[in-house]
Amino acid sequence: MVKRKKKKGIGVLSLKNEQKISLSKTYDYGLIFCVIVLTCIGAVLCTSAISYFSAFSSMLRNQILSIIVGIVICVVISIMDYDYFKLFGIIGYFVTLGLLVLVLFRGVEIGGAKSWLRLPVLGLFQPSELSKVTTIMVVAIFFGRLRDNEGKPWINVLMMIVTCAIPLGLIAKQNDFGTAMIYIFAIAIMIFMFGIKFRYIFIAGGLGLASLPFLWFNVLKDHQKGRILAVLQPEVFAETYSYNILRAETAISSGGLTGKGMLNGDLTANYYVPVQESDFIFSVAGEEMGFIGCTFLLLLIFGILGWMYWIGFSAKDSYGKFLVVGMTSMLAFQYCENICGCLGIFPLTGIPLPFVSQGGTAMIVNFILLGIVLSVSSRRDRSTHVYDMANTRSYEDSKTISEYS
């Protein structure tokens, strides 16, 4: 039986004689298999996209190494009880905050965003990628406390706002609005899941619309305005802001129904679409896999996201629910933004396609995120006891879960 010491503050748990769970029986092999299939497809697409590079061998080696390291970290995290992620999340949150501050002084600018650090041995590292995960890990604590009526509500709300605002401000200072949008979307979905009334959603939407003129004239820079105009009037900006989008659309449409075959895309081989190994990796999929292959790829992505949301909704405690929903929402936004950006539906923000695009930091962070989800999934069968983290009360009847979730 689990014995938990009652603690004040944010509810970090002290465990003794941790409840034994047979991970071999509860482990979500199906989910990790689907993600590995997606990653393998991505590795082939990346191989095709970077085949013309002079540094092809080193780039491919780094990508494969990132995948292997990511999978190992994912498995290690997944076998841990996610109750510990509260403490790890807090520690990681402050570490990533320090790295985000360091970026402001020693950051490397790539693609207009000064969001990278050059580290010894590791090379380029993007702290904002890891900060996304640690921030959601901490924010989920306060959502769980609000749902379970732990502590004073206004304190939880205030702490949640501060927790989100600091990294958001630092990332906006780096001119990385794409990553900032991921934060905002994930938090918005968590708020919606919490049960906010629709009138507040309409009020927030109205305030957002009212703020658009201010944002356009005082916040957005010229290249960001250009990316928005490129979606509205692509022909007008065909030689500037729409250039990459129009080329991506051409590459996607050239694949036809069945595609030209993996590693056989002639446009890809001639680097027809800039940054095709990362931001425009879907153009490589369209040319080489065609409509049928892209449909399979989209169904696989939708299946993974649906599976992860189901894990979140069926988690046995509030923290697990909000943790998984927040993590999954980050992935969902990245998939939507990257693919819709390639199709000219959304403005480009430089967001890679998770588990598919080339990039070491993003790949490892995505597998960390997956490990967190798998940890919650493996422990959804704690049907004998559900614990109120504030009062350490045990509820024998699993039907009472709905009263606290």
pLDDT in tens, 317-355: 999 999 999 999 999 999 999 999 999 999 888 889 999
pLDDT digits (tens, 9 = 90+) for 202-211: 888 888 889 8
Nearest alpha carbon to residue 366 among 355, 358, 356 = 355
What's residue 22's pLDDT?
A: 63
Nearest alpha carbon to residue 46 among 197, 334, 347, 265 = 265
Full-model pTM? 0.85
Range in 187-196, 265-274, 395-404 the model is least confident about: 395-404
- Tell me the C-alpha distance between 18 and 103, whole Å: 40
* Domain extent at residue 117: 29-380+388-404
Burial of 138-174, coded b for 16+ CB within 10 Å and e otherwise, reads bbbbbbbbbbbebbeeeebeebbeebbebbbebbebb
Residue 11 lies in a domain: no
Residue 19 lies in a domain: no
The structure tokens listed for 29 are 């092999």
Residue 222 lies in a domain: yes
- Tell me the C-alpha distance between 220 and 211, whole Å: 12
Number of domains in the chain: 1
Residue 10 lies in a domain: no
Residue 23 lies in a domain: no
What's residue 195's pLDDT?
A: 82
Whose tokens are 């939708």? That residue is 302
What's residue 164's pLDDT?
A: 93
- Tell me the C-alpha distance between 85 and 319, whole Å: 10
Residue 361 lies in a domain: yes
Is 175 buried (19+), middle (13-18) or exposed (0-12) by CB count in 10 A? middle
- Tell me the C-alpha distance between 314 and 330, whole Å: 19
What's residue 57's pLDDT?
A: 83
CB 110 within 8 A of CB 278: no
- Tell me the C-alpha distance between 15 and 32, whole Å: 28
What's residue 381's pLDDT?
A: 54
pLDDT digits (tens, 9 = 90+) for 51-89: 878 778 888 888 999 999 999 999 999 999 999 999 999
- Tell me the C-alpha distance between 229 and 273, whole Å: 20
Residue 22 lies in a domain: no
- 24: pLDDT confidence band, cut at 50, 70 and 90? low
- Tell me the C-alpha distance between 33 and 378, whole Å: 15
Residue 250 lies in a domain: yes
Per-residue pLDDT at 259 exceeds 50:
yes
